[in-house]
Structure formats: C-alpha cells, structure tokens
Amino acid sequence: HKKNMADTTWRLIHLLKSRANPESPVSKFSTGNLETLKLEPEKAGKSLPQALRKFHQENYCSSRMHLVIMRNASIEQQLAAAERSFGSLSSKGCEARPYYDDIPMFSHELGNLGRKFKVHTDGSPQLWLTFPMMSLQGQYKTMPEAYINYALSHYGPGSLKALLKREDLALHYSTMLETTPMSWFRCRKRADPDLLLDPEGCRGIGSNH
C-alpha cells in the first residue's frame, strides 16, 4: 500500500474509480493498511480472518475460475496435470461470477460525468481523460476494443496523436483500455487516454480550450 500511494499513476486511476457508481465494483478500493483493513473493522466488531475466509470460500472455486495450460505435453498429460493440481476444487456453495453490464459506472444521471479534478504531482503535468463504454462482453471474438485502442493510439496522418504532436500540445500520448479493476467482476469497459503536456498544452488546459 505504501508503494502504491507513491505511484502517481496508481493514485490517479483510483481517484477516477472512486467516482464511479457505488453499486459498481469499479468504485471499490483495492488496497489498504493496518488501520483500514484490521484495526478499524475490529472496532466495529468485524473480524479480518473471518472476512478473508468468507471471501476465499465465495470466490476460490471452480465456477469462478478459468484454467489455461501452455505446456509441451499431450492433451492427456495436460488434463492429468490439471486434475492433480485443481481437481480438489469444489463449486459447492459458490455461484458463478456476477455480471454488472446493466449497472452504469458513469452517467449524466449519476452526476459523475464531465467532472474535472486537479491533483498535485512532482513530475511533468499530465491530462487524463476517461471515456466509459458499453459492455463488449458479447463481442469477444471480434474484439472491438482492440480497434478502439488502435484508433486512439494511431500516429498516422489525421490522427489525434499526430495533431497533438504537430500543435506542440503533448510530449507523450498513451491509451489504456480496461475491462475491470478486479478479476472477480465483469463490468463495462473504459478508455483512458493519458497525455504528458508541454507548456503550450498546459496553457490550453488552463484557458479551458
């Protein structure tokens, strides 16, 4: 947790996630310290060991896992190895992983779209933009998110990246597509362009252009 708090990128990502719909697992925080994970819950009569056992029982089961094997062996040998290592896992009392496609992370109705936050950093100024997208779970074969990422990252003529470079508005430009912050949940996706601004870009942001 101390390592994460010193990471500007990590802090910015969790700041954006914290503004998501509270009913969506995207809004959950992924790390903590002794105070938040143990001492404060114990004051409220909660037990950390019991909570961990409950989480393990509800999530570490076959119906919530996928197994991928890459090995120089026959199919029969791979299946036998998988059975030896994972055959004891039970799905008893464990429901399939939930979907959250019908729960919007961000929307105008929730009042968490179009918001702007300023965060101090010790490095170069950056501009982060987050675009929530519809669920693409049903299009896993065509992978439309790969096309979106390519379009945002493209550096050819007429591209956004080329324009930012040509106008001296950004020194660096990158994008990130994320399905979910936690492997236990299936949610909608987001696209996060990240711009490392030069002085001209900072002036443009400051003047709301």
Instruction: Report pLDDT digits (tens) over 77-117.
Output: 999 999 998 888 776 767 777 777 788 888 888 888 888 88
CB 196 within 8 A of CB 170: yes
H-assigned helices in the chain? 2-5, 8-18, 34, 40-43, 48-59, 75-86, 144-153, 160-166, 199-206
CB 94 within 8 A of CB 58: yes
User: What's the mean pLDDT in 24-41?
Assistant: 85
Residue 105: count other Cβ atoms within 10 Å of its Cβ.
26
Q: Is the pLDDT of residue 131 over 80?
A: no
In this prediction, residue 185 has a pLDDT band, given cuts at 50, 70 and 90, of: very low
* Pairwise CA distance, residues 104 & 15, whole Å: 17
Give the contacts of 112 (CB within 8 A, at least 6 positions apart): 19, 20, 21, 106
Q: What is the CA radius of gyration of the chain?
A: 22
Higher pLDDT, 137 or 208: 137
